Structure 1
């Protein structure tokens, strides 16, 4: 991704930590929750890999294309789940969010692949593609989606009353997944801005 090095590394750390948290969560759940945790772990680690600052490592265009293929494949189960009549209404929204996330990653990887190919085609000039940052309307739409998602998730996580003392127990454990999703939504906002 294009952008300053220090914020880029902070983004990498945030996304890797979110991915690791999802892997830990994966061990303690089953069914839809397990699939969701696996998808979120993939998303977190994929975002961490894509977030490495271009000043440190400039991946070849084929690697961006591989990211696009990987996340297109990750979108397939979400599409199948949305089409299934067995998917409950509550699950539908979460599956839809996974689908938007996977397709946003496909979009960003495709933009970076085209950008890298255009830069390679122009040699040492380091020229960028004809449409840097992708399609402005699509990028703005994704930015709006993730900003609203982050605000809504953050508002749900904010305590409404007195904060429970140590040993919050199960209530604290159930807040890990939304906190992980909030971190990744903020990471998506940062990545889209750096696009």
Structure 2
């Protein structure tokens, strides 16, 4: 996770920007979209904090336990959401579990050395999952033939046109960015 400074700062910027966009998506009129955006904002900011290069800031030892607790709670919330709503929340559960896993590995590494290695099987399974997720999400972003007359709606005063924060392609791009960032973080372990 805490590798060389330049890629580390790029990862921090990507995750923080994604987290900020997800905060904006929380203004959606759709309850399900708001719930998903909240979990994704937490994930984006958590990943940004974990990716800060060690040369800039070495977190105190208790930080890893705090990460594990926060993302453990997020994982429990995602588990509850999977039981109630299913769907996309399963990915939030896997993402929270990956964050807990990385925090535990970092806490257990000698002197909290960056670039510590976790159990290879768990890391490999998470790498396979996020690789598949990134590929599937990338394919979903490919343009499809536009439906005749299905362009953007004209906005008038009082019209409930979809805001830019509710656009599904932007949400998918956000998720793709975080999936790629998670792959980079897991690969660096």
Question: Shorter-chain TM-score: which interval?
Answer: 0.7 to 0.9
TM-score by length of 2: 0.85
> Counting helix residues as a fraction of each chain, which structure ranks higher?
1
TM-score by length of 1: 0.83
**1:29: how far off?**
3.2
CA deviations 1:156-188 (Å, max 9, x no partner) are 1011347xxxx7565972211111000000000
User: How far apart are the structure 2 equivalents of 1:51 and 1:168?
Assistant: 37
Is 1:35 aligned to 2:26, yes or no? no
| 8 Å Cα contact 1:61/1:112 also seen in 2 | no
User: How far apart are the structure 2 equivalents of 1:134 and 1:29?
Assistant: 41
**Coordinate RMSD, CA, aligned:** 2.3
| 8 Å Cα contact 2:25/2:33 also seen in 1 | no
User: How far apart are the structure 1 equivalents of 2:66 and 2:163?
Assistant: 39
Other-structure match for 1:194 = 188
Other-structure match for 1:145 = 129
| 8 Å Cα contact 1:61/1:114 also seen in 2 | no
Is 1:63 aligned to 2:63, yes or no? yes
More deviation in 61-70 or 27-36?
A: 27-36
More deviation in 172-181 or 46-55?
A: 172-181
**1:51: how far off?**
0.5
Other-structure match for 2:158 = none
- One of 138, 142, 157 as aligned partner of 2:141: 157
More deviation in 22-31 or 134-143?
A: 22-31
Other-structure match for 1:119 = 111
Other-structure match for 1:8 = 8
**1:80: how far off?**
1.4
**1:81: how far off?**
2.2
1:46-57 to 2 correspondences below 5 Å? 46-57=46-57
Relative to structure 1, the CA distance from residue 63 to residue 132 in structure 2 (aligned partners, 3 Å threshold; closer, same or farther) is same
Give ranges in structure 2 of 5+ residues lacking alignment: 154-161
* Partner SS state of residue 26, structure 2: helix
- Matched pairs, number: 176
| 8 Å Cα contact 2:16/2:45 also seen in 1 | yes
**1:83: how far off?**
2.7
